[in-house]
Amino acid sequence: MREGGGKANVQRPIVRKYTTENTPTAVIVTAIGCYYLGSLRPTALPDSSTTTLHEAQKPRHQTSATNLQAAWADFVEIVGKENVSTDKIDLEEHSGSDWSSYTAKPNEKPFLVVFPSTTEEVSRIMKICHDRRIPVTPYSGGTSLEGHFSPTRGGVCVDFRRMGEILALHERDLDVVVQPAVGWEDLNEELAKHGLFFPPDPGPGAQIGGMVGTGCSGTNAYRYGTMREWVLSLTVVLADGTVIKTRQRPRKSSAGYDLTKLFIGSEGTLGLVTEATLKVTPKPKSESVAVAAFPSIHAAAECVSKVVGEGVQVAGVEILDDVQMKCINDAKATRRTWKEAPTIFFKFTGTPAGIKEQIKIVQKIAKDTKGQSFEFAQGEDENRELWSARKEALWSVLAMRRNDSDRVWTTDVAVPISKLPDIIEATKEDITNNGLLAGICGHVGDGNFHTILLFNDSERVVAEEVVHRMVKRAVEMEGTVTGEHGVGLIKRDYLPHELGDSTVDTMRKIKQALDPLSLLNCDKVVRMESPKAGEVKKW
C-alpha cells in the first residue's frame, strides 16, 4: 500500500504542533507547514481522526489558592454565599464514599462545593471555571462505585442538590422533564400516582444526573433496556459554559448526531446535565414473581436460556448464587429461609391470563432443566416476599461484616449471555481459593453480574487481584469491564484492553474536542496524560 507521497501530499502543508505549558509559544514557519516548538509533547495531528495519549493536550489547570479564592467570590455573586461551601465536612463528603472501590488520596478534595439552582447558574459557573481553568467535578446522588466523583485535581465540585424538581409530566406523551437531583425512587413514587413508571432501577439513592453519567441499569433492563433507552433529551452545560439541548420531545428522531446518547455514559466528562426529558411507560396492571432453585449455575442458566428461546417475554430474570442465598439466610434479611443454592428470580408482567400462561411454561422448563424447586406468588404480598431476597442482596453481605474494618467491594462485568455461567463459576472458584467471601447476583438475561466482595485492609491486595482477574476474564470472553457501573477511575485503564487503543484514541479525540482544557471530571473514562510508572496494573 502507498502511504504518503504523491501529488496531494505536496500540496498539503504538514502541520505538526508542539505546545508549551505556561510559556509563550514559539512557532517556526516553513513553506510547507508550521511547527509550534516548546515541550516535546506534540498535540494531535490536525488531520487525524484520533488522539493518542502521547498526542493529547495535557491539562493546564490553574488551582492556585488565589485563583480558587477569586472563583469563590465569583460564585458567591451568582448563587449567594449560602450556596458555596468550604466546610470541611462538605469537602470530605464530596471526595469519595465508603462504598466506592476507589480510595481517595489525601489531596483529592474539592476546594469548594457550589450548589446552583438553575441551568443558567451552572452555565455561569462553568464559564468562570473555563476562564480560570479550574477543574470541575459534578455530583448528584453520590452512589457511584468506581471513583466517579473523586476530585483528582481538586478544584470545584458542582452539587446539584438544589436542582431536584420534577418540572413537567406529560402523561399523554409518556414523558417527564426532571432536574438532575431527582432520585429514581422518588420519581417512581410520583409517577405511580398516574399509573406510570420509569424502568431504570440502579442502586438506591441514585439520581438522574449520575444515572445519565454512568448509563446505568438494573433488574428491569432485560425487559425495558438501560438508561440509554429511557432518555429522550438532555440539557447540558458544556465545558465552556455553552448550554445545549440535545433534542426535543418526540419519542423517536433521526435528526442529526445522537448527542443524547453520547452524554449518557460519559461520566460527566463531556458536560454537566442540568435537565433530562425521560420516557415513562404505563405501570403493568398485573405482575407476578416466581423463584426456582437449581443444582448449579449452569443448570440455572440453561433454564433461562430455554425460557428466552421459547419467546416468553419475562419482565425480569435475576440470579443469586448459593453464597449470596446463604448470606441472606444468615443475615435474616427476609422473613423466610431460602434453599442455599443458585436461585433464579423471575418477574412476569402483562395481562392476568398471559402471566398465568407464562408461569406455566417457565415452571415446565425449570423442571426439565433440573430445577429443585419452583414457587410462584399469588397476590402482591407474596410477590414482595419472593422478590425481597433479590432486593436484600447487598445489605445481607454488608451484614456479614466481621468488624468495622471490613468493607464491601461491589463491581460488575458483562459477557455474551452464553458465557455467563462459565465466568460466574470461574470467579466463584477464584474467590473461594483466595479465602474471600462474596455474594454474586446477576442480571442473567443480559449476561451481566455483580460480585459483592467482603474484605479488610489486609485482604485488599488479594481482593484487587480477584477483581482484576474477573475483569480480564470478561474481556477475554468478548465481554466488557463493566455492564452498568461505568469505568470511573478504577476500570479506566482496562478500556484499551477491551476496546483497543484506536477506539480509546477516538474517545480521547471527542473528549478533547468538547473539553479542550480537560476541566470536566478529570481523569475519568480516558486519560489525558500518561500514567506514572507502576500506576497501571499489568494485564
Examine residue 493 and tell whether it contacts its own copies (CB under 8 A). Answer: no
Q: Which is nearer to its own copies, 286 or 373 (CB)?
A: 286
Sole window of 22-30, 94-102, 107-115, 389-397 interacting with its own copies (rule: CB under 8 A): 22-30
Report in angstroms how near the CB of residue 327 gets to its own copies at its nearest. 25
Q: Which is nearer to its own copies, 280 or 437 (CB)?
A: 280
Q: Which is nearer to its own copies, 322 or 498 (CB)?
A: 498
Sole window of 84-92, 120-128, 374-382, 452-460 interacting with its own copies (rule: CB under 8 A): 120-128
- The interface with its own copies within residues 466-485 (CB under 8 A) comprises 474-475, 478-485
Examine residue 26 and tell whether it contacts its own copies (CB under 8 A). Answer: yes
- The single-letter DSSP state of residue 315 is S
Examine residue 533 and tell whether it contacts its own copies (CB under 8 A). Answer: no
> Which residues in 155-193 are b (16+ Cβ under 10 Å) and which e?
bbbbbbbebbebeebeeeeebbbbbbbbbbeebbeebee
- The interface with its own copies within residues 316-355 (CB under 8 A) comprises 349-354
If phi > 0 it is left, if psi is from -120 to 50 it is alpha, else beta; for residue 98 that is: alpha
- The single-letter DSSP state of residue 18 is B
Would you list the DSSP string of 480-491? Answer: BS-SSS--TTTT
CA–CA dist 182, 273 (Å, integer): 12
Cell of 91: 469537602
Examine residue 39 and tell whether it contacts its own copies (CB under 8 A). Answer: no
Sole window of 93-101, 311-319, 378-386, 387-395 interacting with its own copies (rule: CB under 8 A): 311-319
Examine residue 106 and tell whether it contacts its own copies (CB under 8 A). Answer: no
For residue 319, what is the enclosing H or E element? strand 316-320
Report in angstroms how near the CB of residue 516 gets to its own copies at its nearest. 5
Report in angstroms how near the CB of residue 62 gets to its own copies at its nearest. 5
Q: How many residues sit close enough to its own copies to count as binding (CB under 8 A)?
A: 153
Report in angstroms how near the CB of residue 522 gets to its own copies at its nearest. 16
* Candidate list 152, 179, 207, 217; residue touching its own copies; CB under 8 A: 217
Examine residue 299 and tell whether it contacts its own copies (CB under 8 A). Answer: no
Cell of 373: 424447586
Cell of 286: 398485573
Q: Nearest to residue 491, comparing CAs of 398, 395, 393, 409? A: 409
Cell of 398: 454488608
Examine residue 38 and tell whether it contacts its own copies (CB under 8 A). Answer: no
Cell of 118: 438553575
Q: Nearest to residue 443, comparing CAs of 294, 301, 261? A: 301
For residue 437, what is the enclosing H or E element? strand 437-443
Examine residue 361 and tell whether it contacts its own copies (CB under 8 A). Answer: yes
* Candidate list 242, 296, 363, 372; residue touching its own copies; CB under 8 A: 242
Examine residue 13 and tell whether it contacts its own copies (CB under 8 A). Answer: yes
* Candidate list 186, 240, 382, 422; residue touching its own copies; CB under 8 A: 240
- Cα dihedral value 450, 454, 459, 464, nearest 10: 10
